[in-house]
Amino acid sequence: MFEIQNYTSFVLAILVFQLIPGPGTIAILNATARNGIRAGAAAVLGTVAGDFVYMVAAVAGLAAIMHANPAIFQALQWFGAAYLVWMGVQLLRAQVDGAAVAIEPRRSPAVYFRQAFAVALTNPKVILFFVSFFPLFLAPDASPLTLGVMMVHVTVLCLLYQGLLVLLGNRVAKALRGLPSARRVATRLAGLALIGFGIKLATSNR
């Protein structure tokens, strides 16, 4: 669909990545829990904007590689599958604690937008993720427009999921702080899912 290979796996993989608790998730939950829905929505926009900057950079490079050197593009597909497995292993090994989120005073939503945007931009692993992730779902003869369609998918799904976090923000934030075992289970399940995706996509790209 939309010239995306393994379309169902593509959508599911995006959702799995969203479920992994990270700095952006914590920033969104913290903003919502401390200053309400407007602050949480601002944090969501900041996170998505930061990720979009890295997405554009990754897509620009991939489009050039697709056009100039198909062999390198195929190597990126194998690298992407290995990277997913590596991320999954790291999640299985990660120590997940129940450290509380710091209490913040009431602030303008714009402050939370800037904070979340900075959090996204200070995570250079994001561009590595997109460079390794997108090729996994691209056919060798796919048009560069497909990359744009994939960007739209990622952005829309991120907005939907993170918007849901905002609506349930206070409860989710309290659960993440008070139930470290729940965070641990979610992290382990995400790790297993990523390993499964990596193996599946490696075999399908042979």
Q: What does the block give as tokens for 187? A: 């992290």
Band of residue 100 on the pLDDT scale cut at 50, 70, 90: very low
Neighbours of 100 (CB within 10 A): 11
3-state SS, one letter per residue, for 50-76 = HHHHHHHHHHHHHHHHHHHCHHHHHHH
| Closest among 68, 88, 42 to 201, alpha carbons compared | 88
- At residue 4, φ and ψ (nearest 5 deg) are -100, 125
* pLDDT of 199 strictly over 90: no
The neighbouring-strand residues paired with 4 are 138
Q: Is the pLDDT of residue 44 over 90?
A: yes
Q: How many whole angstroms from its chain centre is CA 176? A: 18
Lowest mean pLDDT: which of 4-13, 90-99, 185-194? 90-99
CB 120 within 8 A of CB 49: yes
| Lookup: tokens for 21 | 């608790």
What proportion of the chain, given as a percentage, has pLDDT over 90? 9
Q: What is the pLDDT of residues 116-158, one digit of tens each?
A: 888 777 665 676 677 778 888 887 677 778 888 999 999 999 9
Of 17-21, 47-51, 93-97, 169-173, give the lowest mean pLDDT range: 169-173
| Coil/strand/helix, residue 4 | strand
Q: How many residues does the chain have?
A: 206
Mean pLDDT calculated for residue range 155-171: 85
- Tell me which of 148 and 104 has the higher pLDDT: 148
Alpha-carbon distance of 158 to 14, in angstroms, equals 8
Question: Per the confidence metrics, is the pTM higher than 0.85?
Answer: no
Q: What is the pLDDT of residue 196?
A: 81
Answer for the pair 132, 54: CB distance below 8 angstroms, yes or no: no
pLDDT at residue 205, as a whole number: 56
Average pLDDT over residues 21-26: 71
- 81 vs 110, higher pLDDT: 110
**Torsion angle in degrees (nearest 10) through CA of 131, 134, 139, 142:** -90
